[in-house]
Structures are given as structure tokens and as C-alpha cells.
Structure 1
Amino acid sequence: MLPPRILRRVVLAPLVIVVTVFMLVTLPFWLVVTAAASLRLPPPQRRGARFVWFAVAWLTLESAVLIACLWLWVAGGAKRQERHYALIGWFLTRVYGAAERIFLLTTDIEEPEPTPEEQEARLSRPVIVLSRHAGPGDSFLLIHHLLARYHRRPRIVMKAALQYDPSLDVVVNRLPNAFVPRSTDQSGVTAEIRRLAATMGDRDALVIFPEGGNFTPRRRRLAIRRLEEKGLTGEAGRARDMDHLLPPRPNGAIAAIESCPPADVIFVAHTGLDQLVTVGDVWRKLPVSAHITAKWWRVPAAEIPRTREERVRWLYDHWALIDAWITEQRGSRPEAGTQSDGAGRPASRPPARRGWRR
């Protein structure tokens, strides 16, 4: 059970700062230990020192955010949303920079180049972002780009357990977001999505992960079985045709669209670190240089279907498009184990044009 907020503030937050100071003072020791432990490993598997450097960078940035939040509270700025969005942007930009230097992270993002008229229109209404959920830190990367590249104010519904992270707990709870306990049913999550979507302004972006979790073959089989048990044979059949994604849960996306009719919808596909789901996966399989490829499709509000049935089909259509794009990017057949239930492979398309690179 999550500790009360006051306990998290007076115990967990100071503890992060104490741990940060300890790690900074003992950093040479940890680097020597990890280097010695890695001597018998081949160079691609010598990840220990990199993880130590990244952990220290993360803790240092977390401590800086907590100190800044304390200062804002003392100065009476705890309710100033713009300052907190700026603080999140500062934190994520530096975390991203650390990942670039330590893990040699690169990112390619492809999106249609807008005309000046389209660009002006895009900045004058809210957006609903529907993204696949896979790999470590995909939500952090997405929020980073929304803030840094697109100057949006993201809103997101998250698991309540994430409040164990003190800086996330403090900053996110001061902004229009929602934390939901693990026991919350789908209707409770949908209600929070409606609440956040209904109050969006022109610069806001509501981020939703319709799959509800990271992809694994087992979760895919269970999701298809649930659809069949509900009598949704059409959706189950379409889910079998997708090799890399869980079937989308439409209630949250549809609730957001209904609650904010002026919003455009952006679909986000990404691949590159999909196979790194658990901490153990990251430790064992993180490559020497990490590369993420992403593509965004934007649907203007006027082109979004009007009825629920049409919106469910439309959502599955875009999920099939994302799945085919991932197959194309990987350039190989799906992983072993994902076709055990007869899933077919989507037809490939011509190579996509490369867009913005960082």
C-alpha cells in the first residue's frame, strides 16, 4: 500500500537527497567495483559502469528537482503550473542528454511536414496522443518530445505506485494528471481520462497508452482470449493479425475524444528497445548504442469518426498500421512465439522517409 503523502514528503524525498550525496561521495568505489566485475565479460556486456554513471546522473537530477519544488513551495509558487512544466522539461532534457552520452542513444522521428497554415492550426487546439507502450522509458521520451519539440503541456493517467518516485510524486501531483491505484477498474480509469480531457486548453496534450501495458506474447494471448470471451470476435481476429502490439482498449481513447471534441488525435509508433521490458532485460540486453525510431500520424478532429462502432474500427485500423510499420522497421519476421496462435504477418510497405533526427 502506498504510504500517506505526508510520509512520502518527510521520508522518501529527503532519503533521495541523502542517497545522492552518498553515491557522489562513493562514486570512485562503485566504478572500480563494476569495472572489476566486468573484466571477464565481453565488451558488449560491460554495462555496469554505464549504469552507475546513469544512476548517479538520475539521482542528482532528482535531488535538484526536489530542491526546486521545495523552493517553489516556500516562495508560494507551488500552484504555478508553467514553472512546474518548465521544471519537468529541464529534468527530461538532461536525462535525455545523459542517455545520449552514456548509452549513445539516438532517436529518429518521422512525421509529415506541415504547411504554415497547418502549423498554426496545430498550435491552436488540444491533442490526444495515443501511443503504443513498449520498452524502458517510452513515456518519459514521449513527454520529453511533447515539451521540448512541440511545446505542449502533457497530461497523463499513471499507476499510483509511481508516486514512490519522490520527484515524480511532487511535480506531477501539482499538475493536472491522475494517479490510479492498481485496484482501480477500467471504469475508474476512464472517469479520470474524461476529467483530464474535459478541461484541456489549446496547448494541452492528453497522453494515453491504449494497450494498458507492455507487449509480451503471453499478454497478447490473454488479451485475445478476453476479447473472445466477451463475444468480440471481430476485434479478436484483428488482434491475431498484429504481431507486435496488444489489442487496444477503446474505452479510454473514446472517452477522451467525447470529452474534448476539438482535439486532434496523434498516433505514435516506436521501436528499438521493445525487447527490454524488465530490469533484467535492460541489464542483460541493452546494446552498446541504443537507437529508437518513431513515427507520428496526426488525425484532425474533423476526420475522426462519429459513432462508437466506427471509432473502434478506426482505432484498430491505426493499430494495424503501427504494427505493419514496426514489422517494416525491424526488417525481419516476428519473434518466435508470437505466431503460436495463427497470427498472420501484415504486408510490408515501401521504406518510410526519414524525418527529424536527434
Structure 2
Amino acid sequence: MLPPRIVRRLVLAPLVIVMTVFMVVTLPLWLVVAAAAALRLPPPQRRSARFVWFAVVWLTLESAVLVACAWLWVAGGARRQEHHYALIKWFLEKVYTTAVHIFQLRVDIEEPDPVEREGGPAKPIIVLSRHAGPGDSFLLIHHLLERYGRQPRIVMKAALQYDPSLDVVINRLPNAFVPRKSGQTLVIEEIRRLAATMSGSDALVIFPEGGNFTPRRRQKAITRLEEKGLRAEAERARGMDHLLPPRPNGAIAAIEACPSADVVFVAHTGLDDLVTLHDIWRYLPIRAHITAKWWRVPAASVPRDREERIRWLYDHWERIDEWITAQRMAARPG
């Protein structure tokens, strides 16, 4: 059960700063321990020191964000959204730069021109993204802020509020945290609420699959569609090798609440099989490479009928699945 906000502010937030100071002071010891642990692993998996460095940088950045948030609260700027979006942008840029240096991360994105067409006013966008691999949400939000100059909105699991900096910053912006067992009704209501108030600089981010892909989840999702009598959707889901079938209600609710928004579909691959911390620890490659592709659909081209929208969503999901297959085949040696 998530502790009350006052406990999170008075206990968890200071604890992060204490942990940061402790890690920095004892860093030489941690590096020695990491080196000793690496000797027990084959050479490709000797990455312990890199994880130690990344953890120290992450904690330092988290502490800096918490200090900045405290200063904004004292200075009366806790309600200034632009300051907090700038803080998120700074944090994600530093995390991204660190990942590039420590894990030799490379991200290649093929995307539509971010400049609005015909010189008209900027329009809100609804981003429908594949959900897979470590840090996909961070990379997506970083790109929306850095490249597109957007102010992202997202519905997240309430448990993420255990992260103090995320808890403080996100709760000061138009986002939503939902309890794990709240059901789809609350999620849809929050998506509709966030979409209805978007302006031209905003982007609502949705992951229609509802979770990371695994073969077991894929089969369960197909079975669930069959039990609901949605045989056409179940058959189309069987044809997708890399994705869970999309849950259409969230995307449709967002489109209905903000019909002027363009829709952006996001595909990515490269670290798909690294889902758990154990996967990341054991199998993260020496050089991490992520490829991504974005498709932008103008609001006028989005179908109006609900059933047509569901078929349209599956069309794009199949397109993403085919793109992932092509990327994996191209990446195979020889």
C-alpha cells in the first residue's frame, strides 16, 4: 500500500538524498565490490562498474531534482508548470547523456517533420506507443520535450510514486497516477480528463498494450479476446509476433475528448527482451542500440466510427509489428 503523501515527502525524499551522499562518499568501495563481482561473470557480462556509475549519477540527479522542487516550493513557484517541465527536460537529458557514455547507447529515430504544416497553429498530439524494453517511457518523454518541444501528459501506475522525484514533479503537472487494481474505468476517465484540456503544446502519451510484451501475456490477451467474442481481433492478434493486441478504449477516449489532435504512432526495437532487472543485469549488450519509427496521422484522417477506429488501430499495430520484424532481420549478422 502506498504511504500517504506527507510520509513520502518527509521520509522517502530525504532518504534519497542521504543515499546519494552515502553512495558518493563510499564510491571507491562500491567500485571494488563491482570489480570483484565482475570476475565471477564471463567477459561480455562484466558490466558491474558501469551499473555502479549509472546508479550514482541517477541518485545525484534525483537529489538535484528534489532540491530544485523544494526551492520552487519555498519561492512560490510550485504551481509554475513551465519550471517543472524544464526540470524534467534537464533530468532526462542528463540521464540520456549518461546512458550514451556509460552504456554506449545509440538511438536512431525515423520520424515525421516536427514542424506544423502550412504554418498554422500548433495542434495537440496523442502518442500511441509500443511498450517494451527498459526506459522506453523515459526515451519517449525525452524526445517529446527535446525534439518536439511538447509538454507530455501520461497516466501511470500509482506505485511509481515510490520514486520521490517522480512523485513530486509529476504530481505538480497535468498527469495521473492510478492504483494497480483500480480497473480500466478509472484509467479511461483519467485519459479523457487529460485529453480534454490539451492545448497546442501538449502531448498525451498512451501505451495501448497495457504492459511489456511476453509470449505468455500475448496468449492470455488472445484468449481474453476470444472469450469476449472478438474473434476478428483475436485472429489479427495471432498474426502479430512482437506485440500484444492494443486495448482500444484508452486511445478512443483520448480521440473523442480531443478530436483536434493528430495521432502519432511509435515503434521501437533493440532492447525488447530486457524486461526485468535480472534481464538488464545479465544481458544488456556492451553497446546498446535502439531504433524507432514514428508515424503521424492528421486529425482529419482519423476514422470517426468506433468500429472503424478499432480496425484502424489494429492496422497500425500490424504495421508496427511488420516494421519490428524487418528491423530484427536487418540486424542479424551475415
Residue 317 of structure 2 aligns to a residue in which SS? helix
Does structure 2 conserve the Cα–Cα contact (< 8 Å) formed by 1:13 and 1:167? yes
Residue 110 of structure 1: aligned partner: 110
- 1:56-113 deviations in Å (ceiling 9; x for gaps): 0000000000000000000000000000000000000000000000000000000244
Does structure 1 conserve the Cα–Cα contact (< 8 Å) formed by 2:116 and 2:122? no
Change (3 A) 1:244 1:181: same
- The count of residues paired between Structure 1 and Structure 2 equals 332
- 1:153-172 deviations in Å (ceiling 9; x for gaps): 00000000000000000000
How do 1:77-116 and structure 2 match up within 5 A?
77-113=77-113
CA RMSD between the two structures: 1.4
Does structure 2 conserve the Cα–Cα contact (< 8 Å) formed by 1:211 and 1:246? yes
Structure 1 position 117, deviation (Å):
6.2
Q: Distance in 2 between matches of 1:42 and 1:63?
A: 34
Change (3 A) 1:86 1:223: same
- 1:118-160 deviations in Å (ceiling 9; x for gaps): 2744x61100000000001100000000001110000000000
User: TM-score, normalised on structure 1?
Assistant: 0.91
Structure 1 position 47, deviation (Å):
1.2
Does structure 1 conserve the Cα–Cα contact (< 8 Å) formed by 2:153 and 2:202? yes
Residue 171 of structure 1 aligns to a residue in which SS? helix
Residue 6 of structure 2: aligned partner: 6
Does structure 2 conserve the Cα–Cα contact (< 8 Å) formed by 1:327 and 1:333? no
- 1:293-323 deviations in Å (ceiling 9; x for gaps): 0000000000000000000000000000000
- 1:181-218 deviations in Å (ceiling 9; x for gaps): 01111111000000000000100000000000000000
Residue 69 of structure 2 aligns to a residue in which SS? helix
Q: Distance in 1 between matches of 2:148 and 2:229?
A: 41
Residue 8 of structure 2 aligns to a residue in which SS? helix
Q: Distance in 1 between matches of 2:331 and 2:271?
A: 17
User: After the TM superposition, which segments of 4 or more aligned residues of structure 1 sit over 6 Å from their partners?
Assistant: none
Q: Distance in 1 between matches of 2:231 and 2:302?
A: 24
Residue 135 of structure 2: aligned partner: 137
Residue 347 of structure 1: aligned partner: none
Does structure 2 conserve the Cα–Cα contact (< 8 Å) formed by 1:128 and 1:207? yes
Work out which of the residue numbers 167, 183, 194 in structure 1 matches 2:181: 183
Query: What residue ranges of structure 1 are gaps of 5+ in the alignment?
Result: 335-358
Q: Distance in 2 between matches of 1:293 and 1:145?
A: 13
Does structure 2 conserve the Cα–Cα contact (< 8 Å) formed by 1:128 and 1:256? yes
Q: Distance in 1 between matches of 2:145 and 2:217?
A: 31
Does structure 2 conserve the Cα–Cα contact (< 8 Å) formed by 1:126 and 1:204? yes
Q: Distance in 2 between matches of 1:333 and 1:104?
A: 17
Residue 41 of structure 1 aligns to a residue in which SS? coil
How do 1:314-333 and structure 2 match up within 5 A?
314-331=312-329
